Amino acid sequence: MMTSLFAIPTEWWLDISAHQRTQSQQQSQRQATPGSRWTAYLNQLSLDVILAWLQENYTHEAQAWLSSADRATIWEFVNGAAITLGDKRILLMPSEVTDDAELEVPQEWVDLPDWVADYYLAVQVQLEGEQPDEAWVRVWGYTTHHALKTDGRYDASDRTYCLDAEHLTRDLTTFWVTFQCCATETTRAAVAPLAELPATQAESLIQRLSAAAIGFPRLSVPFTLWGSLLQQPAYRQRLFQQRQSALGEPRLSQTLTHLSQWFQNRLESGWQTIDALLMAEPTLAYNLRSTSVSTEVRGKQLHLEAPPDHPTVLMFIGLTPEDDERVGIRVQVHPTSSSPFVPANLTLALLSDAGETLQAVRATPEDNFIQLRKFRCPLGTRFCLQIALDQYEIIEEFLV
């Protein structure tokens, strides 16, 4: 889908490098839910791409606001990435929306005095190209804080300020020229300070909001309370950690991997061929001895949240078609090239559809890889593989 076909000089159409994608992907693993992981991914990508663009073409003074760790605590709860440029702040609002109808800015970025920006950029992130290098970031409009407060509409249902596209400046050529020439023009409207939260109240709020049962923490208490909590880095950090603990259950695997499709060369989300993985990890030595050429081997990266290292491991599955419509399966777990050994005490287990452990193996220190005994099952069988370290685990579901 060559939609970069429609690029015009009055918008910024910026490409995304494979390196930026990998970096952002890794950073996003810190988040607690699939939703916040995706938010962090889009935000980190937009931040990296637009920062690089500003630094290469305008000024090296452009820097990301806040440290990487701090940003993660924000992205767990709300969209938006800030860049500082001298004494001004630019806020990026990344989204996958394609219809250019409005700019939506969460209230946090408009009504928290410490978070307010001068300029707000409407950013579309496009990732679904047919080729990996067809991903791009498109900046299609901007506005000021003042305009957002004056011409924007506050939507209480999701606590956002919404500005119709007709009020946005659609010509990005004017952005830098305006930034330089009109430095004294008002960009910010007045914002009332929020009361500081006493520590005990903050702690009780944190306990309440970090419960797994709270779907949208930012919408669950009045904004004055939420804002006061969020604007304190220490409280925010604690809320983030509590949320991570509460939601550290085995991640619901959204996809069920259909193993027999591998024989038809279909590649599913997250699974890569040996060649692709070897290219990314040249020091990897794998040892899935195949007894026939019809064996299909695929690998997948798995990220464990276990502190302090948050290790990544590679899980390989080898499939061999056997007689009477059964499939032979071998499973191995290898470290990535950052270490020659699998994390000590890592366990790999085979679970039946009913959750019963059928096989399990534990890594000793200095194991180059661990593997299950080869097993066979008929087509249509469901099973799970569980990879665990301390109390952090990942469960992958399979259908043969």
Partner 1 sequence: MRPRQDIIEIFSSFAQFEADYFRRWITDSRLRRSMQEGLKQSEDTSESFWAIYWHKRWQAQAIPVARFHLTAYLQEAGYWAAQQTQRKFPSPQYTLPDLFQIAIAEVNTVLRDYKPERGSSLRTYAGLAFPSLLRDTLRQRQETDICTNWSLLRKVSKKRLLESLHQAGLAPTSMAQHQLAWMCFKTLYVQTPSSGTTKLPDPNRALWQAIADLYNQERQTQLPQPGAACTPEQLEQWLNHCAAWVRAYLYPPVASLNMPKAGQESGELQDDLPDATYDSLLAQAIAQDEAEQRQTQRTDLSTALMQAIQQLDATNRQLLHLYYHENLTQSDIAKRMELTQVTVSRRLTKAREALLTALVQWGQNTLNKPPTSNLIKDMSAALEEWLQLRQDWHLERGA
Give, as ranges, the residues between 23 and 82 that touch partner 1 (CB under 8 A).
Answer: 24-25, 28-29, 34-35, 37-38, 41, 57
Return the range that interacts with partner 1 (CB under 8 A); candidates 67-75, 163-171, 327-335, 374-382: 163-171
Shorter beta-carbon distance to partner 1: residue 93 or 329? 93
Residue whose entry in the numeric block shows the structure tokens 């939601």:
247
99 binds partner 1 (CB under 8 A): yes
Shorter beta-carbon distance to partner 1: residue 91 or 372? 91
**Total residues contacting partner 1 (rule CB under 8 A)?**
71
Residue 339-378 contact track with partner 1, rule CB under 8 A, x = bound: ----------------------------------------
Looking at 84, 174, 241, 290, which residue binds partner 1 (CB under 8 A)?
174
Q: How far is the CB of 217 from partner 1 (least distance, A)?
A: 11
Tell me the CA distances in angstroms from 186 to 179, 182, 191, 367, one per residue in order.
11, 9, 14, 62
Shorter beta-carbon distance to partner 1: residue 167 or 362? 167
Q: How far is the CB of 211 from partner 1 (least distance, A)?
A: 11
Shorter beta-carbon distance to partner 1: residue 114 or 353? 353
Return the range that interacts with partner 1 (CB under 8 A); candidates 84-92, 263-271, 285-293, 354-362: 263-271
Site residues (CB under 8 A) for partner 1, limited to 135-154: 135
Site residues (CB under 8 A) for partner 1, limited to 178-237: 178, 181-182, 185, 213, 215-216, 219-220
Site residues (CB under 8 A) for partner 1, limited to 316-335: none
Q: How far is the CB of 25 from partner 1 (least distance, A)?
A: 4
Q: How far apart (Å, rounded) are the C-alpha atoms in residues 346 and 365?
A: 10
Q: How many CB atoms neighbour CB 260 within 10 A?
A: 16
Tell me the CA distances in angstroms from 359 to 315, 349, 373, 393, 394, one per residue in order.
16, 6, 8, 16, 16
Q: How far is the CB of 96 from partner 1 (least distance, A)?
A: 6
Q: How far is the CB of 215 from partner 1 (least distance, A)?
A: 5
Q: How far is the CB of 374 from partner 1 (least distance, A)?
A: 27
Shorter beta-carbon distance to partner 1: residue 101 or 344? 101
Of 230, 228, 224, residue with least CA distance to 243: 230
Shorter beta-carbon distance to partner 1: residue 49 or 372? 49
Shorter beta-carbon distance to partner 1: residue 320 or 334? 334
